[in-house]
Amino acid sequence: MNHSEEYEDASILQGVPDAFQRLWTPHRLVYIQTGTQPSDDQCPFCIAPNLTDEQALIVHRGITCFVLLNLYPYNSGHLLVVPYRHIPNYTDANDIEVAEYAALTQKAMTVLTSIGGAHGFNIGMNQGAVAGAGIAAHLHQHIVPRWRNDANFFPIIAQTKALPRLLGDVRTEIASAWRQIS
């Protein structure tokens, strides 16, 4: 008996049912294969500035920091503020980087409120892998726009997040508004 005959009925492989839905994320395999963190030469935040804005989802390039869309957003318009320098912690940033980091965070909030009518924001940094940083070696801050009632039944019942807009469309709109808002 070959394997294809042996496992014709995949139901025998199901195991014990549980309450979890499965969201397949093969794009995150690199983190698992390399000890959960990309190597410094594979750091997406170091690679991004060398790509076009469209390829990297960059909405603004500053002097010491840049702003880009999160490739795996919690909500539409989920932005990241990132220093160009490959530093792991906020305490490693110099005064000029800290000032631009803060100014870009404020500007991001203004832009997202202007174009999307955000009612609030989750803003945060996870410092270190043990704190939940997906890319711990390169400092970055999340800016997640929130709206009243933005938690529909999907996350509550199906543990799935619905994102109503494509990343490229969101990047174009934010980048355009970024240039227009002073």
Q: What is the rounded end-to-end Cα distance, in angstroms, of the chain?
A: 71
Q: Where are the beta strands (DSSP E) in 35-181?
A: 58-61, 65-69, 79-83, 120-124, 141-146
∠ CA(95), CA(97), CA(102), 5° rounding?
95
Active site residue 60: no
DSSP 8-state class, residue 154: I
Adjacent-strand bridge partners of 80: 68, 142
DSSP 8-state class, residue 38: -
∠ CA(98), CA(65), CA(103), 5° rounding?
50
Task: From the candidates 60, 78, 138, 140, give the one annotated as an active-site residue.
Answer: 140
Sequence-distant (6+) residues with CB within 8 A of 178 are 59, 60, 67, 107, 111
∠ CA(101), CA(51), CA(88), 5° rounding?
40
What is the set of active-site residues?
A: 140
